[in-house]
A and B are shown apart, each in its own frame.
Chain A
Amino acid sequence: DQQVKQNSPSLSVQEGRISILNCDYTNSMFDYFLWYKKYPAEGPTFLISISSIKDKNEDGRFTVFLNKSAKHLSLHIVPSQPGDSAVYFCAAGSSNTGKLIFGQGTTLQVKP
């Protein structure tokens, strides 16, 4: 039972354009959501998060949108840069336990 899903395994965008990565979840008990960037053979690096009581959080080039009714969140990166090329994981968690459930990841390639 995949509670957190990233249905697009890969995404390719041109440098300077917007990258939109999507994530769906099924468990209504999750109360916060995070996005991580990861390179092979390394641990995840935290990018941005959002609480379930909000619908948008912005940090520099990164914006996360949450649609609770649709159980959907997305990460917008604008403008995209070649250095953004990596695997992006969304994760959902419960603030009282700290446990995170990760999606399958989306490989983003930003072409110069």
Chain B
Amino acid sequence: GAVVSQHPSWVICKSGTSVKIECRSLDFQATTMFWYRQFPKQSLMLMATSNEGSKATYEQGVEKDKFLINHASLTLSTLTVTSAHPEDSSFYICSAWPLAAASYNEQFFGPGTRLTVL
């Protein structure tokens, strides 16, 4: 159990287009999901906290109009990179915090999505 999936696993797009990445908790419900970004050979940087039924909260320096987050259900959060540019090329990872989590340990990560903007 406790599986988090991401779709697509990799995507290549042209500069100026928008890309949507899905994060799904497959066998549990999560009111909170997190989105991270990792550049090559760097750390995972928290981008935003996605809360079901409410607006996402963004970390300092993350453009909320560029990275649109929607958490419409207890099992799905989406990240849309709008008007993507080559500098947005990165590895995007989500994590899901189960609704019934007994402890902070119970946060599960997806496999990540590789975005390449040409």
Binding site for B on A (CB under 8 A): 32, 34, 36, 41-46, 49, 89, 93, 95, 97-105
Contact = CB atoms under 8 A, between A and B. Distances in A.
Contact of B111 (A32, A43, A103): A43
Given A32-B104, A49-B104, A99-B34, A41 B43 contact: no
B105 interface: yes
Interface in B35-80: 36, 42-46, 49
Contacts of A32: 104
Interface residues of B, number: 24
A41 B104 contact: no
B97 to A, nearest CB: 5
The listed residue with most B CB atoms (<10 A of its CB), out of A32, A36, A41, A46, is: A41
B104 A102 contact: no
B9 to A, nearest CB: 8
Nearest to A107: B41
A15 B107 CA distance: 31
B32 interface: yes
Contacts of A95: 103-104
